[in-house]
Chains A and B, each alone.
Chain A
Amino acid sequence: MINLKDVNKIFGAQNNAIKAVDDVSLDIADGEIFGIIGYSGAGKSTLIRMLNGLETPTTGSIQIGGLEISSIKGRELREARQKVSMIFQHFNLLWSRTVKENIAFPLEIAGVKKAERDRKVTELIELVGLAGRENAYPSQLSGGQKQRVGIARALANDPEVLLCDEATSALDPETTDAILELLTSINERLGLTIVLITHEMHVIRKICHRVAVMEAGKVVELGNVLDVFQSPQEPITRRFVSQLTEPEAAKQAMTHIKEEFPEGTLLKLVFVGERTEQPVLADLIRQFDIDVNIVQGNISHTHGGAYGTLILQLIGNDETIQEAMNYLHGKDVQTEVIGND
């Protein structure tokens, strides 16, 4: 659906030029929810804005559904934009228009007749769950409701691709989840491709099929969300993954336990898929002569399946601990010794 080939974007003139996007090549499949994660300044915002021609690449090519977005202009680009719509962090609704009128705006742009516009708007209001609020102005809506208007507006011209520019970053956690669920259901029901950028791993975990990690303009890591969670390769990816798996409180608990049992071995177990549902821990305690302290554990549900981590302190002699670790490996559970560093 979307193909990026050797895309570069340089801002500014030679002396103080900034390379915002550095040699990025990506292929995004039809119907996929593709996430791009990175800290601010990583170039993800520039990258997504090139997908609808709000920015043009300095070099390289961007194709959407076979159409070369990076080289078209004028009328052709305006028509292409109706098929690649966008939602925004700050919603960007027109305050002067009601919910209904905001959703009708892209239809007016596309030259849709009044009766057809009304029909479509009613349908979209229903779809995003805003029935009863048709005639409210944006100032009378909550953040979550505003984003629902943004989504309805983006869907008005039946796009093939939906771009989400930090669409949940201004929302509270509960509203974020509700909006993410809406996006997932839209993806499933309408089959449209979603590309989203975010700095929250939570968003990636919750709805994305694949993720690209960006740092300093480059895509440093790319893969299925579950794989990336399971074995992050780059330090920055590990930092993002630890946003979810190692909350600050757990780090403190670990320091505390390390102080209390300096002789023990701290072990991080990673379970993926079915393993999360098996009594691995009970077997471990039954079969080996070791003491086990549970420091912290959690299970995250990603789009591709469940993903769990468990941090244990094992006390016993070194050989038994080694055997226990071998047993876990045999059960397809990844382990990682957390050093006393």
Chain B
Amino acid sequence: MIESFFPNVDWTKMWEATVETLYMTAASTLFTFVIGLALGVILFLSSPHQLWANRLVNILTGAFVNIFRSIPFIILIILLIPFTKFLLGTIRGPDAALPALIIGAAPFYARMVLIALQEIDKGVIEAAKSMGAKTSTIIYKVLLPESMPALISGITVTAIALVGYTAMAGIIGAGGLGTLAYLDGFQRSREDVTLMATILILIIVFILQFIGDFAVKKVDKR
């Protein structure tokens, strides 16, 4: 039945490509979450009147975030080819796409972390200070839990953007559904392959959005 609609689809290849896309998205989302969170927290704490108010750190972190957020992803991939080669010894395969994916997405997420932290009621931070909390306690027990819904919806948006980025990473031979749709679908004029790859990407995006929304609902007690 399905074979008659998609005569040219090689299901083994399609499945392999799906797994590659899922792997790239999951790995890059994980690293983006950790690095973006750290950058966002530094940006927040170093801004004026905050716990680590420091002009220099704030300006440098802010500049790093803004520069890498502004470079179009497709250009960033090309610019990072030497870096990737140095880091992994190759520029082919799903792993080779990760540096570009993470460096492209982490600053984007850092901005969202900053916004999430700025939304926290200042009184709550002051209350923690008045109880004699250390800065590390304030970070782990106040800042992160109190901004958790925004942090989760931010990483959901970022993960979905990363699915799109993995498709673009196909140009450096990263593999995944993007590469398959371009090489097997577009270049060989097999529209059904492109369509199937698109459908699978859509399903991945919908699932990510569903998980994100569910998690936000779960943690939001406001």
Contact = CB atoms under 8 A, between A and B. Distances in A.
A binds B: yes
Interface of A: 52, 54, 77-82, 85-86, 88, 90, 92-97, 105-106, 108-110, 137, 139, 153, 157
B132 A110 contact: yes
- Size range of the interface on B? 20 to 34
A90 B124 CA distance: 9
B16 interface: no
B219 A81 contact: no
A329 to B, nearest CB: 50
Nearest to B137: A109
A333 B133 CA distance: 54
A95 B134 CA distance: 20
B13 interface: no
Interface string B101-139: 000000000000000000001011011111111100100
Contacts of B222: 95, 139
Given A86-B130, A139-B221, A95 B123 contact: no
Nearest to A106: B131
B221 A81 contact: no
Q: Give the top 7 A-B pairs by smallest Cβ distance, nearest first.
A: A81-B132, A92-B127, A78-B132, A92-B123, A96-B145, A137-B221, A106-B131
B141 interface: yes
B133 A96 contact: no
B134 A78 contact: yes
A167 B214 CA distance: 37
B142 interface: yes
B131 A96 contact: no
B145 A92 contact: no
B18 to A, nearest CB: 36
Interface string B187-222: 000000000000000000000000000000001011
A178 B219 CA distance: 33
Contacts of A110: 132
Nearest to A79: B132
B172 interface: no
Contact of A85 (B130, B137, B148): B130
Contacts of B121: 90, 92
A106 B132 CA distance: 8
Given A94-B145, A95-B221, A96-B221, A81 B131 contact: yes
B181 to A, nearest CB: 42
A339 to B, nearest CB: 47
Contacts of A96: 145-146, 148, 219, 221
A97 to B, nearest CB: 7
B132 A82 contact: yes
12 contacts: A52-B130, A54-B126, A78-B132, A88-B123, A90-B121, A90-B123, A94-B142, A94-B146, A105-B128, A105-B131, A109-B133, A137-B221
A32 to B, nearest CB: 21
Given A97-B145, A105-B141, A92 B133 contact: no
Interface string B53-70: 000000000000000000
Given A88-B123, A92-B123, A95-B222, A109 B131 contact: yes
A81 B130 CA distance: 6
Max chain A C-beta neighbours (<10 A), residue from B123, B146, B219: B123
A95 B219 CA distance: 10
Contact of A94 (B124, B132, B137): B124
A92 B123 CA distance: 5
Given A92-B127, A109-B128, A139-B221, 7 more contacts: A54-B129, A82-B131, A90-B123, A93-B127, A106-B131, A109-B133, A137-B221
Contacts of B148: 96
A244 B130 CA distance: 33
A81 B127 CA distance: 11
A154 to B, nearest CB: 8
